[in-house]
């Protein structure tokens, strides 16, 4: 801990920062307690609008209207309607996002469709070498099914790895372990210059920072909704298909919900027009409508305001960690440069598993990633500067108790 700057100075600064925070009032729209909740990058907090909405969906729409709710309750159009609510959060115009299925299923749809659109002679899929495991598993399976070679490449090295064989590049906008933000505009442009398509996984960026799908010409994108979008555990994911590609989008999962005449019950498949092509089977209505209610907290909020607070929060947290934590006990894996940082801070720490266990016991909830990483996610809609200061202070207290060199717990 610094000899010239004590905890009280940082506490006072946190109070002043919280007092002028334009997003501070949003905290009241979530169900929270005194816990410092820094795990919204895994599961967002519950919006106060959700329980009442779900009581209506279950009690009235399902309980009373029953089958009539597909039309009278708007169930049938929910995937596209909710997709249009997500669209401005990722920089997309309406009509390009459909909600449904899991991120993994949507990665599969996007990759196979991209290979089919890429055309003959393009038989290589490039995947982020440090990708979330599920994306890698799906990419490997998609490559086998399409006769492609799968090539893992570090995102920074993608431009040099592209060739006339490359069909599609699958990348994570933010690295789930380190919080590193990758260059979506530059890497998308590089893929296009090589004649390839770009598929982006937005799980750790949507709702935390501007994405700019339309602005940067992204071809396809996927993302979950239970992290920074606060849709609830297992809430449905989404698929973005750029307008001018929709008539060429050939889904490997052609279900009845994406048929041009879903109730025609024809044996031959004819895809619907637009983003509806991304649908497969019957939507998961309960979780989908919970997500719709959760998205109400974004009314009046811009991605730019969220980004500004996110950077200020993570800057302040890192400053507090540097001041409070003895030198050498932790090392940040998250880039200092704003243009390379998402909305989480990852600290490498000896005995990280035990450290996180004790942090949680003391009311600071983050998470641990094997073998030695502490992750702290900063959700600007409900995390404040006092939370950041307290988390750093409690971390220093816990590290005083856990000897350096304690092995990490799995």
Q: Which of 314, 315, 318, 316 is nearest to 331 (CA)?
A: 318
Which listed residue (26, 109, 122, 227) is catalytic? 227
Q: Which of 129, 127, 149 is nearest to 200 (CA)?
A: 127
Which listed residue (10, 37, 226, 385) is catalytic? 226
SS3 281: coil
Taking CA atoms, 80 is separated from 84, 94, 199, 210, 226, in Å, by 6, 9, 20, 21, 18
Cβ neighbours for 393, distance < 8 A, ≥ 6 positions apart = 7, 10, 320, 324
**Can 309 be counted among the known catalytic residues?**
no
Which listed residue (128, 175, 201, 367) is catalytic? 201
**Can 132 be counted among the known catalytic residues?**
yes
In the numeric block, which tokens belong to residue 308? 């500004």
Q: What phi, psi does 215 have (nearest 5°)? A: -55, -40
Strands 373-377 and 344-349, bridge-based pairing: antiparallel
SS3 268: coil
d(CA 253, CA 11): 53
Q: Which of 187, 120, 130, 197 is nearest to 160 (CA)?
A: 187
**Can 263 be counted among the known catalytic residues?**
no
d(CA 79, CA 390): 40
In the numeric block, which tokens belong to residue 131? 């990708």
Which listed residue (10, 30, 37, 132) is catalytic? 132
**Cα torsion at 59, 65, 68, 73 (round to 10°)?**
-50
Catalytic residue annotation: 132, 201, 226-227, 375
């Amino acid at each position: 801990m610094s000899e010239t700057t004590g905890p009280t100075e940082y506490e006072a600064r946190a109070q002043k920062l919280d007092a002028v925070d334009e997003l501070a009032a949003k905290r009241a729209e979530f169900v929270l307690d005194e816990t410092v909740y820094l795990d919204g990058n895994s599961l967002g907090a519950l919006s106060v609008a959700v329980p009442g909405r779900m009581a209506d969906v279950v009690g009235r729409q399902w309980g009373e209207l029953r089958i009539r709710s597909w039309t009278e309750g708007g169930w049938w159009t929910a995937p596209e309607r909710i997709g249009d609510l997500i669209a401005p959060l990722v920089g997309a115009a309406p009509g390009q996002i459909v909600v449904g299925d899991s991120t993994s299923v949507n990665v599969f749809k996007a990759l196979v469709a991209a290979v089919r659109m890429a055309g003959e002679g393009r038989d290589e899929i490039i995947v982020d070498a440090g990708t979330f495991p599920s994306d890698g598993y799906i990419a490997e399976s998609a490559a086998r099914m399409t006769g492609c070679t799968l090539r893992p490449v570090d995102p920074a090295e993608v431009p040099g790895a592209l060739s006339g064989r490359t069909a599609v590049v699958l990348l994570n906008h933010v690295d789930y372990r380190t919080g590193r933000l990758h260059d979506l505009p530059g890497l998308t442009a590089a893929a296009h210059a090589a004649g390839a398509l770009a598929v982006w996984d937005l799980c750790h960026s949507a709702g935390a920072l501007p994405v700019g799908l339309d602005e940067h010409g992204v071809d396809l994108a996927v993302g979950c909704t239970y992290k920074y979008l606060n849709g609830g555990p297992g809430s449905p994911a989404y698929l973005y298909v750029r307008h001018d590609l929709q008539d060429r989008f050939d889904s490997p999962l052609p279900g009845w919900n994406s048929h041009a005449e879903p109730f025609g019950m024809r044996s031959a498949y004819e895809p619907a027009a637009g983003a509806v092509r991304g649908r497969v089977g019957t939507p998961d209505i309960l979780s989908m409508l919970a997500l719709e209610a959760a998205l109400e907290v974004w009314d009046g909020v811009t991605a730019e305001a969220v980004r500004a607070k996110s950077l200020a929060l993570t800057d302040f947290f890192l400053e507090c960690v540097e001041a409070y934590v003895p030198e050498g006990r932790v090392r940040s894996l998250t880039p200092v440069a704003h243009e390379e940082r998402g909305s989480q801070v990852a600290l490498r720490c000896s005995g990280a598993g035990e450290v996180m266990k004790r942090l949680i016991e003391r009311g600071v909830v983050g998470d641990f990633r094997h073998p030695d990483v502490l992750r702290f996610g900063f959700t600007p809609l409900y995390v404040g500067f006092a939370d950041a200061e307290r988390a750093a202070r409690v971390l220093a207290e816990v590290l005083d108790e856990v000897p350096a060199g304690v092995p990490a717990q799995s």
